[in-house]
Chain A
């Protein structure tokens, strides 16, 4: 199976290319990137072919492509891939507007190609364990979820993360999506109401975008939830951030810390504690699912529609911040 890499704007592409190579019978064709320097740099780093254009890559008929462009540039690349008949794994968030997300979903459906959205947390064994317990009724009805997906401001990774035109927004765009997707999936219910507050105090000298955010979600089944999406971890924190869920259920409470499987390491070189993660790589399982869905000619575990629903929640959060009101979504 031939897979092409479309853009290395998002640093996750650096993981995905290695995840692809770890799968037997998958051939990474190479890298195309509208930023020539970046494309050549990563093609050399990963010892793969550099394509001078997306068209050139698609002309060689990849079975699938991985789109890791800037958030606002997902749509044109996904459209090109769909027209070329290539299945797509698109980095999250699917799009920066609900309209873009809708068009992308429709277009891939019409073209008969897979559109999978990169929500690796669904493949975390920690999340998998609690998801199975919940589905088996082990917690009973879930009443409330207190979620956090905090991180450092990602500007040092890629400058475009704090460029509104390319990223779509700051912390709200970056860090609502994982938990919003997980909760839709685990609760098997849609978000009915969104309320959000945002501010610009942390990392204020690095960006004009929102860096602090607290979002409240009410699901159709009655579950209430909050997501702290703030870029509230300093750069010298022992790790990039984390994802936690506290689930309050009929039969008890579960506290989930998806990135707790770490060693605490102290070195002369770093001069501060550092977490070395030893848990399973959720990206590997996610990439495996994309490849398996192509091979088995079936819908992937995470569909474009799932990505679309999360874009809708993010858009509602921004509307709520702007109006200071609860935003209702059609369920």
Chain B
């Protein structure tokens, strides 16, 4: 994701001046296209930048955000913001105290189909939102690399955190704050499944309901997303596989099964690319050109809270009230 963010920053007036990674070769590869310097440590990098973009495994976000805030640097942080509520609170408090921006990359809010749907809801075109359905199903990421941090629950939080947080956040964006969560996943009962699959029911404070499905048990390279928002005055439906503008079937095309983690692709103008739109938005916020953040740090914290509640619900088998998720 660091590579992808870097490629997006290029489309702003900002300059990528430094890269750091525990893997020196990877850092050099990432830095080369931009003539950026490779730093041996995050601390050394911090001394030479105005903004840091943190795309490390999730469990490292907390300490890095605290360091960056202490250094007075603005921060872009990959989602999920953190894996616990106390960490999110500390991170947000530190950024507030330091007077730096904390921009969490919930990129789904910048995907055009999701952003357009949000606009339709906000303009009241479908009335009051009643039932939302969101789905994000794919194969297990990095399945050829058992050492990947994606597989370590302590580092990524697992699929119900890392993948599904996109849709917890989007559900909140279109239907408001969440009051309770009920969730079931297959991993505990079926550890030999190709990946986890979870079915989550959210009740929003305003009475709306959301069904959030996340899956990594699909065969590669499948990646299917869908959204459906039913209001009392209309309905929005979107299925990624029904909105494919190009279908190309070549003889002997071969397939590459060694995909690290698939990202849905759709041919768009560069300026409409969600990752570019997201970084440009963050740049505009940092330069004061834009004041309304599309994703606030509080939004990111609320998404973390829903993820924790969902996982807690699969563990206890019961509905979890969000107000009880405090740490």
Interface residues of A (CB under 8 A from B): 141, 143-144, 146, 148, 193, 195, 197-204, 211-214, 216, 218, 222, 224-226, 228, 230, 232-234, 237, 246, 248, 250, 252-253, 324-326
Chain A neighbourhood of B215, CB < 8 A: 144, 248
Chain B neighbourhood of A204, CB < 8 A: 232
| Closest Cβ neighbor of B189 among chain A residues | A222
Pick the residue among B189, B199, B230 that contacts A232 (CB under 8 A).
B230
Cα distance A214–B189 in the bound complex, in angstroms: 22
Cα distance A250–B195 in the bound complex, in angstroms: 10
Say whether B4 faces chain A, with CB atoms less than 8 Å apart. Answer: no
Pick the residue among B192, B209, B232 that contacts A203 (CB under 8 A).
B232
A and B contact pairs by CB, cutoff 8 A, 25 listed = A143-B197, A144-B186, A144-B217, A201-B128, A201-B129, A201-B130, A201-B207, A201-B231, A202-B230, A204-B232, A212-B130, A216-B199, A218-B184, A224-B185, A228-B131, A228-B133, A230-B209, A232-B228, A233-B230, A234-B234, A246-B213, A248-B193, A248-B215, A250-B192, A324-B319
Say whether B249 faces chain A, with CB atoms less than 8 Å apart. Answer: no
Chain B neighbourhood of A202, CB < 8 A: 130-131, 230-232
B195-230 CB mask vs A (1 if < 8 Å, else 0) is 001010101000111010101011100100000101
**Interface contact A248-B232, CB-CB below 8 Å:** no
Q: What's the tally of chain B residues with a CB closer than 8 Å to chain A?
A: 39
Say whether B2 faces chain A, with CB atoms less than 8 Å apart. Answer: no
Chain A neighbourhood of B128, CB < 8 A: 201
**Interface contact A201-B208, CB-CB below 8 Å:** yes
Chain A neighbourhood of B222, CB < 8 A: 253
Q: Name 14 extra pairs, CB < 8 A, besides A228-B133, A250-B190.
A: A143-B190, A146-B199, A195-B201, A197-B209, A202-B131, A202-B232, A211-B130, A214-B131, A216-B184, A224-B184, A226-B211, A226-B213, A228-B131, A248-B193
Knowing A232-B230, A234-B235 are in contact, say whether A216-B182 is a contact too (CB < 8 A). Answer: yes
Residues 237-279 (chain B) with a chain A CB within 8 angstroms: none
Q: Which 3 A-B pairs have the closest CB atoms?
A: A201-B130, A232-B230, A202-B130
Cα distance A230–B135 in the bound complex, in angstroms: 17
**Interface contact A146-B213, CB-CB below 8 Å:** yes
| Closest Cβ neighbor of B235 among chain A residues | A234
Cα distance A237–B217 in the bound complex, in angstroms: 32
Interface residues of B (CB under 8 A from A): 128-131, 133, 135, 137, 180, 182, 184-186, 189-190, 192-193, 197, 199, 201, 203, 207-209, 211, 213, 215, 217-219, 222, 228, 230-232, 234-235, 317-319
> How many A-B pairs with Cβ below 8 Å?
118
| Closest Cβ neighbor of A323 among chain B residues | B319
Cα distance A182–B10 in the bound complex, in angstroms: 53
Cα distance A226–B186 in the bound complex, in angstroms: 13
Cα distance A232–B201 in the bound complex, in angstroms: 16
CB distance from B321 to the nearest CB of A (A): 9
Chain B neighbourhood of A195, CB < 8 A: 182, 201, 319
**Interface contact A201-B199, CB-CB below 8 Å:** no
| Closest Cβ neighbor of B207 among chain A residues | A199
Pick the residue among A144, A197, A213, A233 that contacts B199 (CB under 8 A).
A144
Pick the residue among A193, A211, A248, A325 that contacts B197 (CB under 8 A).
A248
Chain B neighbourhood of A211, CB < 8 A: 130
**Interface contact A143-B213, CB-CB below 8 Å:** no
**Interface contact B199-A325, CB-CB below 8 Å:** no
Chain A neighbourhood of B137, CB < 8 A: 246, 253
Pick the residue among B184, B192, B318 that contacts A325 (CB under 8 A).
B318
| Closest Cβ neighbor of A225 among chain B residues | B199
Cα distance A288–B209 in the bound complex, in angstroms: 40
Cα distance A4–B82 in the bound complex, in angstroms: 66
Cα distance A213–B208 in the bound complex, in angstroms: 10
**Interface contact A253-B219, CB-CB below 8 Å:** yes
Cα distance A195–B313 in the bound complex, in angstroms: 12
Chain A neighbourhood of B129, CB < 8 A: 201
